[in-house]
Chain A
Amino acid sequence: MNITLRVWRQKGRDDEGRMVTYKLTDVSPDMSFLEMLDVLNEKLTLESEEPVAFDHDCREGICGACGVVIDGEAHGPERTTTCQLHMRSFNDGDTITVEPWRASAFPVVKDLVVDRGAFDRIIQAGGYVSAPTGTAPDAHANPIPKPDADRAFDAATCIGCGACVAACPNASSMLFTAAKVTHLGMLPQGQPERASRVVQMVNQQDAEDFGGCTNIGECAAVCPKGIPLDTISQLNQDLLGSLGKGIG
């Protein structure tokens, strides 16, 4: 395959940045998108040019590091992470535009790499349970209804990639926060901090300059882990519940 890449290049945080066009020949349809970028970087290195910086770690769709916006879609045309996207999803001769996540809360560090520390700070604000340590409890000591366990598990699959923010027209992080609120809120261990958790996490995402949720649904539509939109209603329910408890 021959493809033309338009890639966002930005030297550092304070650089203005611009789109740069590269041509690649002999791309295998079996390459992953990141392998295709590796090929580009090898070529750039041989030409004594600065390679394109992009984030990645596991390359198996579980770490959440590799997100970029491809042709206007977070993680590109398939509902998976960029590392699990393959060039067979594109056609010979295509022009592909690659941009970093765009949000004030995710400043660009270099080229396609953004700083997603804001997500860590939202988790630090309330995305934990204060569990007493000690030996592991009996497996049956704490029965959890199967539907609750399933819902908690589904919500817990969020990998913190940030695609939800990147795709949201408001640059809101509500799906990410709601996934954690739902995950912990469904389990008995999450109950003691349930009301304060949602208030603290929502306050933190406001403080990070994420936008407000207007229930548009782009987040859930691009989420590589299929975090459902109804987690946001769960968050709103918990928020309403916390009002009654005088926390906020």
Chain B
Amino acid sequence: MAVTGAILVLYLIAHMYGNLKVFSGQEAFDGYAHNLRVLGTPLLPEHGFLWLARLILLASVLIHIYAAVSLWLRARRARPASQRYQVTKRVHRTYSSYTMRWGGVLIALFTIFHILHLTVNVISPGGASDSPYERLVNGFQPEFWFVTLFYVAAVIAVGFHLRHGIWSGLATLGVNQANRQPKMNAVATGLSLILTVGFLLPPLAVTFGLVS
């Protein structure tokens, strides 16, 4: 869980950096996307780096989901529905930790939609294009406000998922010591906030006409 989660967090940081290139114009954004495809050539074949990264990501996602499902099933066996408390009270747990499981399902569904939308482009509101920049700008036009809204909701869900995920991953890897907890919380909250805002900016900028 922790190791694959860490790989996905690193991916999200790189992804957010790429997305923010949208503010440097079409050339910069498409150039960046193109570079990802030719990175490492001639040592690697064209698209070689991209597919390597995709392979690692896919493996991480699958292992991450497998581990999450086993924990979920174990929790259900450890306290089956027939043994639920009549009254429960939240003493310490955060909203983020409370929504990890269903939030994770939501993010998985979003990711499938998102790849069909902006990578494969078979879902193409506003028209398909060979330019990743145009796919993005077309997809978030004001008349497709519901697409933007769905992205906003999904990115916020990712933010919550990361808030508990980063904290929990650090604890699992053995980082947690009483005197480090304020720092761990700061890292988890800070990184989640940066990623959430960084991912929200490009679609919102398109919808509100700041990028066209």
A residues with a Cβ closer than 8 A to B are 6, 8, 19, 69, 71-73, 97, 99, 102-105, 167, 169-172, 209-212, 214-218, 220-222, 228-230, 232-234, 236-237, 240
CB-based contact A102/B79 at 8 Å:
yes
Which chain A residues lie closer than 8 Å to B178 at the CB level?
Answer: 228, 230
Known contacts A216-B93, A233-B174; 19 further A-B pairs (Cβ under 8 A): A69-B85, A73-B89, A97-B87, A99-B86, A103-B83, A104-B80, A104-B83, A167-B91, A170-B75, A170-B79, A209-B77, A211-B75, A214-B97, A214-B100, A214-B168, A216-B97, A229-B176, A230-B181, A233-B172
CB distance from B70 to the nearest CB of A (A): 8
Nearest CB on A from B53, distance (A):
27
Question: By the criterion CB–CB under 8 Å, are B71 and A99 in contact?
Answer: no
Is B74 at the interface (CB under 8 A from chain A)? yes
Give the complex CA separation of A171 and B70 in angstroms: 14
Min Cβ gap A71→B in Å is 6
Q: How far is it, in angstroms, between the C-alpha of A169 and the C-alpha of B177 when the chains are bound?
A: 22
Contact A72 B87 (CB under 8 A): yes
Known A-B contacts A99-B85, A104-B83; A214 and B71 likewise in contact (beta carbons under 8 Å):
yes
From residue 160 to 194 of chain B, which have CB atoms closer than 8 A to chain A? 164, 167-168, 171-178, 181
B168 CB, min distance to chain A CBs, angstroms: 4
- Contact call A221/B92, Cβ cutoff below 8 A: yes
In the complex the two chains form, is B71's CB within 8 Å of A212's CB? yes
Contact A236 B91 (CB under 8 A): no
Task: Check B78 for interface membership: any CB of A closer than 8 A.
Answer: yes
**Is there contact, CB below 8 Å, between B74 and A72?**
no
Known contacts A71-B87, A99-B86, A211-B78, A218 near B93 by CB under 8 Å: yes
Given A72-B87, A102-B83, do A170 and B174 touch, yes or no (CB 8 Å)? no
Tell me which residues across on chain A come within 8 A of B181, comparing CB atoms. Answer: 230
Chain B residues whose C-beta falls within 8 Å of the C-beta of A171 in the assembled complex: 75, 78-79
- The contact of B78 among A105, A217, A222, A240, by CB within 8 Å, is A105
Q: How far is the CB of B164 from chain A (nearest CB, A)?
A: 8
Q: List 9 A-B contacts (CB under 8 A).
A: A72-B89, A73-B89, A99-B87, A102-B85, A171-B75, A211-B75, A214-B97, A229-B171, A230-B178
B89 contacts A104, C-beta separation under 8 Å: no
Complex Cα gap A228–B177 (Å): 9
The answer for the CA separation of A214 and B177 in the assembled complex, in Å, is 16
Partner of A217, one of B86, B87, B88, B92: B92
A19: B residues at CB distance < 8 A: 86
Q: Mark B41-53, 1 if CB is under 8 A from A, else 0.
A: 0000000000000
Contact B89 A102 (CB under 8 A): no
- B85 close to A221 (CB less than 8 A): no
Given A171-B79, A211-B74, A212-B74, CB of A233 within 8 Å of CB of B171? yes
The reply to whether B86 and A6 contact each other, CB–CB distance below 8 Å, is: yes
Partner of A170, one of B74, B83, B175, B176: B74
Q: Cβ of A218: which chain B residues have Cβ within 8 Å of it? A: 91-93
Chain A residues in 8 Å Cβ range of B173: 236, 240
Q: Which residues of the other chain, B, contact A209 by a CB distance below 8 angstroms?
A: 77-78
- If A71-B89, A170-B74 touch, does A215 touch B79 (CB 8 Å cutoff)? no
